[in-house]
Structure 1
Amino acid sequence: MSEMKPFQTILYATNLGTHMRPVFRQAINLARLHKAKIIMLHAVAPIGTTGSAILSMYMPGKEIHDIEQESMNQVIETMRERLKNYCAEEDDICKDKDELLDKIVVSAGNPADVINHYADTHGVDLIVIGSHTRQAGGHTMLGSTARTVTQHSKVPVLIIPNG
Protein backbone atom coordinates (compact mmCIF):
# COMPACT_ATOMS: atom_id res chain seq x y z
CA MET A 1 0.00 0.00 0.00
CA SER A 2 1.39 3.40 -0.93
CA GLU A 3 2.10 6.00 1.71
CA MET A 4 0.06 9.21 1.65
CA LYS A 5 2.22 12.19 0.74
CA PRO A 6 1.65 15.58 2.35
CA PHE A 7 -0.27 18.08 0.28
CA GLN A 8 1.90 20.79 -1.29
CA THR A 9 -0.69 22.75 -3.28
CA ILE A 10 -4.27 23.20 -2.09
CA LEU A 11 -6.87 24.64 -4.42
CA TYR A 12 -9.49 26.54 -2.44
CA ALA A 13 -12.49 26.95 -4.76
CA THR A 14 -14.74 29.82 -3.71
CA ASN A 15 -18.04 31.08 -5.03
CA LEU A 16 -17.55 34.29 -3.02
CA GLY A 17 -20.69 33.42 -1.06
CA THR A 18 -21.37 34.66 2.43
CA HIS A 19 -20.93 31.20 3.98
CA MET A 20 -17.43 30.42 2.72
CA ARG A 21 -15.55 31.15 5.96
CA PRO A 22 -15.63 27.55 7.27
CA VAL A 23 -14.30 26.35 3.93
CA PHE A 24 -11.44 28.86 3.89
CA ARG A 25 -10.68 28.09 7.53
CA GLN A 26 -10.24 24.40 6.63
CA ALA A 27 -7.99 25.30 3.69
CA ILE A 28 -5.81 27.47 5.96
CA ASN A 29 -5.62 24.78 8.65
CA LEU A 30 -4.67 22.08 6.14
CA ALA A 31 -2.07 24.34 4.53
CA ARG A 32 -0.48 24.92 7.94
CA LEU A 33 -0.55 21.23 8.79
CA HIS A 34 1.04 20.19 5.47
CA LYS A 35 3.18 23.31 4.97
CA ALA A 36 1.32 23.75 1.68
CA LYS A 37 0.45 26.71 -0.51
CA ILE A 38 -3.14 27.76 -1.20
CA ILE A 39 -4.45 28.90 -4.55
CA MET A 40 -7.78 30.75 -4.28
CA LEU A 41 -9.91 30.15 -7.37
CA HIS A 42 -13.21 31.65 -8.42
CA ALA A 43 -14.96 30.76 -11.67
CA VAL A 44 -17.21 33.29 -13.39
CA ALA A 45 -19.70 32.46 -16.09
CA PRO A 46 -18.55 33.73 -19.49
CA ILE A 47 -20.70 36.19 -21.41
CA GLY A 48 -21.69 33.43 -23.82
CA THR A 49 -22.44 33.52 -27.53
CA THR A 50 -25.81 35.26 -27.24
CA GLY A 51 -24.45 37.99 -24.98
CA SER A 52 -21.39 38.44 -27.18
CA ALA A 53 -23.57 38.67 -30.31
CA ILE A 54 -25.76 41.35 -28.76
CA LEU A 55 -22.78 43.32 -27.44
CA SER A 56 -20.94 43.07 -30.76
CA MET A 57 -23.79 44.96 -32.45
CA TYR A 58 -23.07 47.94 -30.22
CA MET A 59 -19.32 47.87 -29.67
CA PRO A 60 -16.15 46.44 -31.23
CA GLY A 61 -14.76 43.08 -30.11
CA LYS A 62 -11.79 44.70 -28.39
CA GLU A 63 -14.11 46.68 -26.14
CA ILE A 64 -16.01 43.51 -25.22
CA HIS A 65 -12.72 41.83 -24.34
CA ASP A 66 -11.70 44.87 -22.28
CA ILE A 67 -15.01 44.78 -20.39
CA GLU A 68 -14.55 41.07 -19.65
CA GLN A 69 -11.00 41.68 -18.44
CA GLU A 70 -12.08 44.61 -16.29
CA SER A 71 -14.80 42.43 -14.73
CA MET A 72 -12.25 39.71 -13.94
CA ASN A 73 -9.97 42.31 -12.32
CA GLN A 74 -12.90 43.58 -10.23
CA VAL A 75 -13.60 40.05 -9.00
CA ILE A 76 -9.94 39.60 -8.04
CA GLU A 77 -10.09 42.90 -6.15
CA THR A 78 -13.27 41.72 -4.39
CA MET A 79 -11.48 38.50 -3.39
CA ARG A 80 -8.53 40.48 -2.00
CA GLU A 81 -10.87 42.78 -0.08
CA ARG A 82 -12.80 39.84 1.40
CA LEU A 83 -9.55 38.17 2.39
CA LYS A 84 -8.42 41.38 4.08
CA ASN A 85 -11.74 41.70 5.97
CA TYR A 86 -11.71 38.03 6.91
CA CYS A 87 -8.21 38.34 8.32
CA ALA A 88 -9.08 41.49 10.24
CA GLU A 89 -11.95 39.64 11.92
CA GLU A 90 -10.18 36.29 12.42
CA ASP A 91 -6.59 37.31 13.06
CA ASP A 92 -5.55 33.94 14.51
CA ILE A 93 -6.46 32.21 11.24
CA CYS A 94 -4.56 34.63 9.01
CA LYS A 95 -1.39 35.40 10.96
CA ASP A 96 0.69 33.55 8.36
CA LYS A 97 -1.55 33.94 5.31
CA ASP A 98 1.19 35.61 3.26
CA GLU A 99 3.29 32.46 3.57
CA LEU A 100 0.33 30.19 2.81
CA LEU A 101 -1.47 32.03 0.02
CA ASP A 102 0.25 31.49 -3.32
CA LYS A 103 -2.14 33.30 -5.67
CA ILE A 104 -5.67 34.46 -6.39
CA VAL A 105 -7.12 33.32 -9.71
CA VAL A 106 -10.35 34.15 -11.54
CA SER A 107 -11.26 32.17 -14.62
CA ALA A 108 -14.28 32.19 -16.92
CA GLY A 109 -16.27 29.02 -17.46
CA ASN A 110 -18.45 26.41 -15.83
CA PRO A 111 -17.26 26.29 -12.18
CA ALA A 112 -16.77 22.50 -11.97
CA ASP A 113 -14.92 22.42 -15.29
CA VAL A 114 -12.73 25.37 -14.31
CA ILE A 115 -11.86 23.82 -10.93
CA ASN A 116 -10.96 20.41 -12.35
CA HIS A 117 -9.03 21.87 -15.29
CA TYR A 118 -7.05 24.17 -13.01
CA ALA A 119 -6.27 21.29 -10.65
CA ASP A 120 -5.14 19.11 -13.57
CA THR A 121 -2.88 21.75 -15.10
CA HIS A 122 -1.31 23.32 -11.99
CA GLY A 123 -0.08 20.44 -9.86
CA VAL A 124 -2.84 20.67 -7.26
CA ASP A 125 -2.79 17.93 -4.60
CA LEU A 126 -6.12 18.68 -2.91
CA ILE A 127 -9.28 20.62 -3.77
CA VAL A 128 -11.16 22.24 -0.88
CA ILE A 129 -14.69 23.24 -1.82
CA GLY A 130 -17.87 24.18 0.00
CA SER A 131 -21.22 22.65 -0.70
CA HIS A 132 -24.77 23.71 -0.10
CA THR A 133 -26.40 20.42 0.81
CA ARG A 134 -30.15 20.23 0.96
CA GLN A 135 -32.84 17.72 1.81
CA ALA A 136 -34.99 16.25 -0.98
CA GLY A 137 -37.33 13.35 -0.43
CA GLY A 138 -35.63 12.37 2.82
CA HIS A 139 -32.17 12.27 1.20
CA THR A 140 -29.34 14.75 1.46
CA MET A 141 -28.42 16.22 -1.91
CA LEU A 142 -24.91 17.50 -2.60
CA GLY A 143 -24.60 20.78 -4.53
CA SER A 144 -24.10 20.40 -8.27
CA THR A 145 -20.63 21.97 -8.48
CA ALA A 146 -19.22 19.92 -5.59
CA ARG A 147 -20.82 16.76 -6.99
CA THR A 148 -19.39 17.30 -10.47
CA VAL A 149 -15.94 18.20 -9.14
CA THR A 150 -15.79 14.99 -7.08
CA GLN A 151 -17.00 12.87 -10.00
CA HIS A 152 -14.30 14.12 -12.37
CA SER A 153 -11.37 15.10 -10.15
CA LYS A 154 -8.08 13.24 -10.37
CA VAL A 155 -7.02 14.49 -6.91
CA PRO A 156 -8.70 14.21 -3.51
CA VAL A 157 -11.59 16.62 -2.85
CA LEU A 158 -12.52 17.84 0.62
CA ILE A 159 -16.13 19.03 0.77
CA ILE A 160 -17.02 21.38 3.62
CA PRO A 161 -20.71 22.02 4.36
CA ASN A 162 -21.28 25.75 4.22
CA GLY A 163 -24.98 26.38 4.04
Structure 2
Amino acid sequence: MTEVKPFKTILYATNLGTHMRPVFRQAVNLARIHQAKIIMLHAVAPIGMTGQAILSMYLPDKEVHDIEQDSMNQVIETMRERLKNYCSEEDDICKDKDALIDKIAVSAGNPADVINHYAETHGVDLIVIGTHTRHAGGHTMLGSTARTVTQHSKVPVLMIPNGE
Protein backbone atom coordinates (compact mmCIF):
# COMPACT_ATOMS: atom_id res chain seq x y z
CA MET A 1 0.00 0.00 0.00
CA THR A 2 1.30 3.44 -0.89
CA GLU A 3 2.10 5.74 2.01
CA VAL A 4 -0.05 8.88 2.18
CA LYS A 5 2.20 11.90 2.61
CA PRO A 6 1.06 15.30 3.84
CA PHE A 7 0.80 18.08 1.30
CA LYS A 8 3.69 20.51 1.80
CA THR A 9 3.65 22.22 -1.59
CA ILE A 10 0.37 22.92 -3.39
CA LEU A 11 0.36 24.08 -6.99
CA TYR A 12 -2.61 26.34 -7.67
CA ALA A 13 -3.01 26.44 -11.45
CA THR A 14 -4.94 29.48 -12.63
CA ASN A 15 -6.13 30.62 -16.02
CA LEU A 16 -6.81 34.07 -14.52
CA GLY A 17 -10.48 33.58 -15.37
CA THR A 18 -13.28 35.33 -13.55
CA HIS A 19 -14.52 32.13 -11.87
CA MET A 20 -11.28 31.02 -10.19
CA ARG A 21 -12.12 32.25 -6.68
CA PRO A 22 -13.54 28.93 -5.40
CA VAL A 23 -10.44 27.16 -6.68
CA PHE A 24 -8.07 29.56 -4.93
CA ARG A 25 -10.16 29.45 -1.75
CA GLN A 26 -9.82 25.65 -1.70
CA ALA A 27 -6.04 25.89 -2.23
CA VAL A 28 -5.77 28.34 0.67
CA ASN A 29 -7.90 26.17 2.96
CA LEU A 30 -5.85 23.07 2.15
CA ALA A 31 -2.60 24.97 2.69
CA ARG A 32 -3.80 26.00 6.14
CA ILE A 33 -4.91 22.50 7.08
CA HIS A 34 -1.65 20.91 5.91
CA GLN A 35 0.62 23.83 6.85
CA ALA A 36 1.69 23.88 3.21
CA LYS A 37 2.97 26.52 0.82
CA ILE A 38 1.14 27.54 -2.35
CA ILE A 39 2.75 28.13 -5.72
CA MET A 40 0.45 30.14 -7.99
CA LEU A 41 1.05 29.20 -11.64
CA HIS A 42 -0.34 30.61 -14.86
CA ALA A 43 0.60 29.06 -18.19
CA VAL A 44 0.80 31.39 -21.17
CA ALA A 45 0.20 29.78 -24.53
CA PRO A 46 3.21 30.35 -26.80
CA ILE A 47 2.77 32.67 -29.78
CA GLY A 48 3.65 29.87 -32.16
CA MET A 49 5.96 29.56 -35.13
CA THR A 50 3.92 31.87 -37.37
CA GLY A 51 3.84 34.62 -34.75
CA GLN A 52 7.56 34.20 -34.11
CA ALA A 53 8.31 34.42 -37.84
CA ILE A 54 6.24 37.58 -38.26
CA LEU A 55 7.80 39.26 -35.23
CA SER A 56 11.33 38.31 -36.26
CA MET A 57 10.76 39.90 -39.69
CA TYR A 58 10.15 43.29 -38.07
CA LEU A 59 12.08 43.14 -34.80
CA PRO A 60 15.52 41.96 -33.75
CA ASP A 61 15.57 38.77 -31.66
CA LYS A 62 16.50 40.72 -28.52
CA GLU A 63 13.40 42.93 -28.86
CA VAL A 64 11.18 39.87 -29.38
CA HIS A 65 12.67 38.33 -26.23
CA ASP A 66 12.18 41.60 -24.33
CA ILE A 67 8.53 41.78 -25.44
CA GLU A 68 7.96 38.20 -24.28
CA GLN A 69 9.63 38.94 -20.93
CA ASP A 70 7.60 42.13 -20.48
CA SER A 71 4.42 40.17 -21.17
CA MET A 72 5.35 37.54 -18.57
CA ASN A 73 6.10 40.28 -16.02
CA GLN A 74 2.75 41.90 -16.80
CA VAL A 75 0.95 38.61 -16.12
CA ILE A 76 2.80 38.22 -12.80
CA GLU A 77 1.78 41.77 -11.87
CA THR A 78 -1.84 40.94 -12.79
CA MET A 79 -1.68 37.88 -10.53
CA ARG A 80 -0.28 39.95 -7.65
CA GLU A 81 -3.00 42.57 -8.14
CA ARG A 82 -5.74 39.91 -8.16
CA LEU A 83 -4.30 38.36 -5.02
CA LYS A 84 -4.30 41.77 -3.36
CA ASN A 85 -7.91 42.45 -4.43
CA TYR A 86 -9.01 38.99 -3.38
CA CYS A 87 -7.45 39.43 0.04
CA SER A 88 -8.96 42.85 0.57
CA GLU A 89 -12.42 41.41 -0.16
CA GLU A 90 -11.98 38.15 1.75
CA ASP A 91 -9.56 39.05 4.53
CA ASP A 92 -10.48 35.98 6.58
CA ILE A 93 -9.05 33.84 3.80
CA CYS A 94 -5.83 35.80 3.37
CA LYS A 95 -4.88 37.01 6.82
CA ASP A 96 -1.76 34.85 6.60
CA LYS A 97 -1.22 34.99 2.83
CA ASP A 98 2.45 35.90 3.16
CA ALA A 99 3.04 32.66 5.05
CA LEU A 100 1.00 30.66 2.51
CA ILE A 101 2.02 32.00 -0.91
CA ASP A 102 5.52 30.78 -1.67
CA LYS A 103 5.80 31.85 -5.30
CA ILE A 104 3.92 33.41 -8.21
CA ALA A 105 5.06 31.92 -11.49
CA VAL A 106 4.28 32.28 -15.17
CA SER A 107 5.54 29.89 -17.79
CA ALA A 108 5.04 29.68 -21.55
CA GLY A 109 3.75 26.56 -23.20
CA ASN A 110 0.78 24.27 -23.48
CA PRO A 111 -1.04 24.81 -20.15
CA ALA A 112 -1.44 21.11 -19.24
CA ASP A 113 2.19 20.36 -20.08
CA VAL A 114 3.40 23.41 -18.15
CA ILE A 115 1.37 22.46 -15.07
CA ASN A 116 2.52 18.83 -15.03
CA HIS A 117 6.15 19.72 -15.74
CA TYR A 118 6.15 22.41 -13.06
CA ALA A 119 4.66 19.97 -10.55
CA GLU A 120 7.31 17.36 -11.33
CA THR A 121 10.26 19.77 -11.17
CA HIS A 122 9.25 21.78 -8.09
CA GLY A 123 8.41 19.08 -5.55
CA VAL A 124 4.67 19.67 -5.71
CA ASP A 125 2.51 17.34 -3.60
CA LEU A 126 -0.91 18.41 -4.91
CA ILE A 127 -2.25 20.28 -7.93
CA VAL A 128 -5.41 22.33 -7.40
CA ILE A 129 -7.10 23.25 -10.66
CA GLY A 130 -10.52 24.44 -11.77
CA THR A 131 -12.67 22.21 -13.90
CA HIS A 132 -13.33 25.16 -16.22
CA THR A 133 -16.71 23.70 -16.99
CA ARG A 134 -18.70 24.76 -19.99
CA HIS A 135 -22.28 24.07 -20.74
CA ALA A 136 -22.89 22.64 -24.18
CA GLY A 137 -26.33 21.43 -25.09
CA GLY A 138 -27.34 21.26 -21.43
CA HIS A 139 -24.33 19.13 -20.47
CA THR A 140 -21.39 20.16 -18.32
CA MET A 141 -18.04 19.52 -19.96
CA LEU A 142 -14.64 19.17 -18.35
CA GLY A 143 -12.04 21.58 -19.71
CA SER A 144 -9.26 20.13 -21.85
CA THR A 145 -6.50 21.43 -19.58
CA ALA A 146 -8.03 19.89 -16.44
CA ARG A 147 -8.66 16.62 -18.26
CA THR A 148 -5.10 16.41 -19.63
CA VAL A 149 -3.51 17.37 -16.30
CA THR A 150 -5.40 14.61 -14.48
CA GLN A 151 -4.57 12.04 -17.16
CA HIS A 152 -0.83 12.71 -17.10
CA SER A 153 -0.03 14.00 -13.61
CA LYS A 154 2.30 12.05 -11.37
CA VAL A 155 0.94 13.81 -8.27
CA PRO A 156 -2.62 13.99 -6.94
CA VAL A 157 -4.93 16.50 -8.65
CA LEU A 158 -7.87 18.17 -6.98
CA MET A 159 -10.39 19.62 -9.43
CA ILE A 160 -12.70 22.30 -8.13
CA PRO A 161 -15.88 23.21 -10.04
CA ASN A 162 -15.59 26.75 -11.32
CA GLY A 163 -18.30 26.91 -13.96
CA GLU A 164 -20.63 29.83 -14.44
TM-aligned CA deviation for residue 140 of structure 1: 4.0
Taking the TM superposition and a 5 Å limit, the aligned residue runs for 1:2-151 are 2-135=2-135, 140-151=140-151
How many residues get paired?
A: 163
Q: Give the secondary-structure state (helix, strand or coil) at the position aligned to 1:7.
A: coil
1:37-94 Cα deviation digits (max 9, x unpaired) = 0000000011211001011111100000000000000000000000000000000000
My pick for the range that moved more, 11-20 or 129-138, is: 129-138
Unaligned residue ranges in structure 2 (runs of 5+): none
1:89-127 Cα deviation digits (max 9, x unpaired) = 000000011001000000000000000000011100000
The separation in 2 between residues aligned to 1:85 and 1:136, in whole angstroms, is 32
Q: How does the TM-score come out when normalised to structure 1?
A: 0.96
Q: Give the secondary-structure state (helix, strand or coil) at the position aligned to 1:57.
A: helix
The separation in 2 between residues aligned to 1:67 and 1:33, in whole angstroms, is 40
TM-aligned CA deviation for residue 133 of structure 1: 2.3
CA 1:8–1:58 in 2, change beyond 3 Å: closer, same or farther? Answer: same
TM-aligned CA deviation for residue 3 of structure 1: 3.7
Unaligned residue ranges in structure 1 (runs of 5+): none
The separation in 2 between residues aligned to 1:138 and 1:71, in whole angstroms, is 37
Q: Give the secondary-structure state (helix, strand or coil) at the position aligned to 2:159.
A: strand
TM-aligned CA deviation for residue 141 of structure 1: 2.4
CA RMSD of aligned residues (A): 1.2
The separation in 1 between residues aligned to 2:7 and 2:162, in whole angstroms, is 23
The separation in 1 between residues aligned to 2:45 and 2:31, in whole angstroms, is 28
The separation in 2 between residues aligned to 1:72 and 1:94, in whole angstroms, is 25
TM-aligned CA deviation for residue 5 of structure 1: 1.5
The separation in 1 between residues aligned to 2:121 and 2:148, in whole angstroms, is 18
CA 1:138–1:20 in 2, change beyond 3 Å: closer, same or farther? Answer: closer
Identity of aligned residues (%): 88
My pick for the range that moved more, 133-142 or 60-69, is: 133-142
Q: Give the secondary-structure state (helix, strand or coil) at the position aligned to 2:58.
A: coil
- After superposing on structure 2, the runs of 4+ consecutive aligned residues of structure 1 that deviate more than 6 Å are none
